[in-house]
A and B are shown apart, each in its own frame.
Chain A
């Protein structure tokens, strides 16, 4: 490999298919959104129920293990619950949500789907830190309390959402996790589940400093999540859920076009590499 060459990441197996079901539509407009979504943002459109079925059908012969639904805010999609019911017949599903659109009717239907499905239905709800002030600074006034309210009502219905928390600074991870868990218990979630994430550098969160993996001599082909995932949106198939809105991340129109190795040239690839983080649940 040339000293300045960017490593190419092969797709070792399609473990996770990410489905950008809500496109870039979101009820919030967070300052750090890596896909820069919002109420009036429609660069990427909704994926219809038939389109999702088609994508899932393409993934099945590849031995796909699980499905992730994201956006935008998936609960803005009018067919989300039907799409989940379709997909849960094929494999486990996770919905990544800001947790502000959990109506009681939706929660009841989610609880039923979760209880009746062969496979796990996971809800992943994002919080930016343990304090309302931090979270609301990114997501708008009152959103922390709305998210906690959604989490409480999920817990009351027997659901166990995973709370994804973005960790800022150099806080000790164990102390941070214990503080967040204690905050959630005090807020009325008796059994909080946590996933910690670092802050990513792309979209509105991109600090702008270009760094690459070019010339890396100890490239480990199992470390990056793009060894095991692809993402689909209304614009086609992308290498991973972080790069759905970056031209370099688009790999083709169909999954069959996107099975080739991917040159990991984006600054987000550096964050993935350095932190070893995955967007998957674990």
Chain B
């Protein structure tokens, strides 16, 4: 049996949500760990403060990004975020977050956001990777771990011609190797904690060589400084509590029972 070849290391994250402090911490971590390439799965603004700061950090670092639902709707000054929520309370908070992002994102960055590609495809070590925001078929589809059958994920891979699907949008990270050997990796959200009581950022690290290794990297950052910025900007106390405590307080009604039970609210 041949020795496993040294793989290509990728860093992948989505859901920056204007958390420029977590973004810098993650980019530093990926660089320190020798990631050959870094990718963003969209949703640059919304939720956090000063959306231009995260966009500028990402653009300066030359990190390619796909277009999340928020990037399209902020970029085009649409009336709502198109996150796909249906609960009135979730809609109320997503609207507050969206209105702030539209008001505070500069025109030059809006133009950049709306021109982001819907997907990025690349081939590494013979594997076809597809990077998208929600799912390959819909920018705001929620791919939760507990509500995606293997059969459905196999179909998504068939339908999109991918060996590895990388997605975000739900805000919670997970990954699965399917019976066919193909993989689906939800990188979760960088800018919001993973609803587990830890006020940190997460991203996915892929090691692609003879096989594919996937791990999720926890990255501490100065969340207290971010929370203070959010207070100064008058953002909702519920969002600030999430940044400080690591527990989600909003956008909970689309979450399935399994994932919901792990949280506090």
In the assembled complex, which residues on chain A have CB atoms less than 8 Å from the CB atom of B149? 64-66, 90-92, 119
Pair B88/A193 contact, Cβ less than 8 Å: no
Pair B154/A177 contact, Cβ less than 8 Å: no
Question: Which of A120, A158, A177 makes the CB contact (< 8 A) with B147?
Answer: A120
Categorize the interface residue count of chain A.
35 or more
Pair A90/B155 contact, Cβ less than 8 Å: no
Pair A63/B257 contact, Cβ less than 8 Å: no
Pair A159/B257 contact, Cβ less than 8 Å: yes
B234: interface (CB < 8 Å): no
Pair A158/B152 contact, Cβ less than 8 Å: no
Pair B88/A174 contact, Cβ less than 8 Å: yes
B215: interface (CB < 8 Å): no
Q: How far is the CA of A64 from the CA of B155 in the complex (A)?
A: 9
Q: How far is the CA of A91 from the CA of B86 in the complex (A)?
A: 23
In the assembled complex, which residues on chain A have CB atoms less than 8 Å from the CB atom of B159? 63
Looking at the assembled complex, report how far the CB atom of A208 sits from the nearest CB atom of chain B, in whole angstroms. 29
Pair B88/A122 contact, Cβ less than 8 Å: no
- Give a binary string over B118-154; 1 marks a CB under 8 Å from any A CB, 0 the rest: 0000000000000000000100001010111111101
Looking at the assembled complex, report how far the CB atom of A36 sits from the nearest CB atom of chain B, in whole angstroms. 27
B89: interface (CB < 8 Å): yes
Given A120-B147, A174-B88, A178-B89, does the pair A160, B152 have CB atoms closer than 8 Å? Answer: no
A60: interface (CB < 8 Å): yes
Pair B88/A196 contact, Cβ less than 8 Å: yes
Question: Which of B91, B152, B256 makes the CB contact (< 8 A) with A63?
Answer: B152
Q: How far is the CA of A122 from the CA of B91 in the complex (A)?
A: 22
Interface centre among B149, B150, B258, B259 (most CB of A within 10 A): B149
Pair B258/A60 contact, Cβ less than 8 Å: no
Pair B88/A177 contact, Cβ less than 8 Å: yes
Residues of chain A from 151 to 186 with CB closer than 8 A to chain B in the complex: 158-160, 162, 173-174, 176-178
Question: Which of B92, B137, B265 makes the CB contact (< 8 A) with A191?
Answer: B265
B196: interface (CB < 8 Å): no
Pair A120/B146 contact, Cβ less than 8 Å: yes
Pair A160/B257 contact, Cβ less than 8 Å: yes
In the assembled complex, which residues on chain B have CB atoms less than 8 Å from the CB atom of A158? 261
Closest to B264 in A: A191
Residues of chain A from 68 to 122 with CB closer than 8 A to chain B in the complex: 90-92, 114, 118-122
Pair B154/A63 contact, Cβ less than 8 Å: yes
A282: interface (CB < 8 Å): yes
Categorize the interface residue count of chain B.
20 to 34
Pair B92/A174 contact, Cβ less than 8 Å: yes
In the assembled complex, which residues on chain B have CB atoms less than 8 Å from the CB atom of A159? 257
- Give a binary string over B155-166; 1 marks a CB under 8 Å from any A CB, 0 the rest: 110110000000
In the assembled complex, which residues on chain B have CB atoms less than 8 Å from the CB atom of A191? 260, 265
Q: How far is the CA of A191 from the CA of B148 in the complex (A)?
A: 24
B106: interface (CB < 8 Å): no
Question: Which of A64, A176, A177, A281 makes the CB contact (< 8 A) with B151?
Answer: A64
Q: How far is the CA of A114 from the CA of B89 in the complex (A)?
A: 27
Pair A120/B142 contact, Cβ less than 8 Å: no
B231: interface (CB < 8 Å): no
B254: interface (CB < 8 Å): yes
In the assembled complex, which residues on chain A have CB atoms less than 8 Å from the CB atom of B84? 282
Looking at the assembled complex, report how far the CB atom of B262 sits from the nearest CB atom of chain A, in whole angstroms. 11
A204: interface (CB < 8 Å): no
Pair B155/A63 contact, Cβ less than 8 Å: yes
Residues of chain A from 1 to 59 with CB closer than 8 A to chain B in the complex: 13, 15
A272: interface (CB < 8 Å): no
A194: interface (CB < 8 Å): yes
In the assembled complex, which residues on chain A have CB atoms less than 8 Å from the CB atom of B155? 13, 62-63
Q: How far is the CA of A47 from the CA of B218 in the complex (A)?
A: 47
Can you spell out 12 A-B residue pairs with CB atoms less than 8 angstroms apart? A63-B156, A65-B148, A90-B151, A119-B258, A120-B147, A122-B256, A122-B257, A158-B261, A195-B86, A196-B86, A196-B87, A282-B254
A residues whose Cβ falls under 8 Å from a Cβ of B? 13, 15, 60-66, 90-92, 114, 118-123, 158-160, 162, 173-174, 176-178, 191, 193-196, 281-282
**Interface contacts beyond A174-B89, A177-B88, A193-B260: sample of 19 additional A-B pairs, CB < 8 Å, sorted by A:** A62-B155, A63-B155, A65-B148, A66-B152, A90-B151, A92-B146, A92-B256, A114-B258, A119-B258, A120-B256, A120-B259, A121-B257, A158-B261, A160-B257, A160-B260, A160-B261, A162-B257, A281-B256, A282-B86
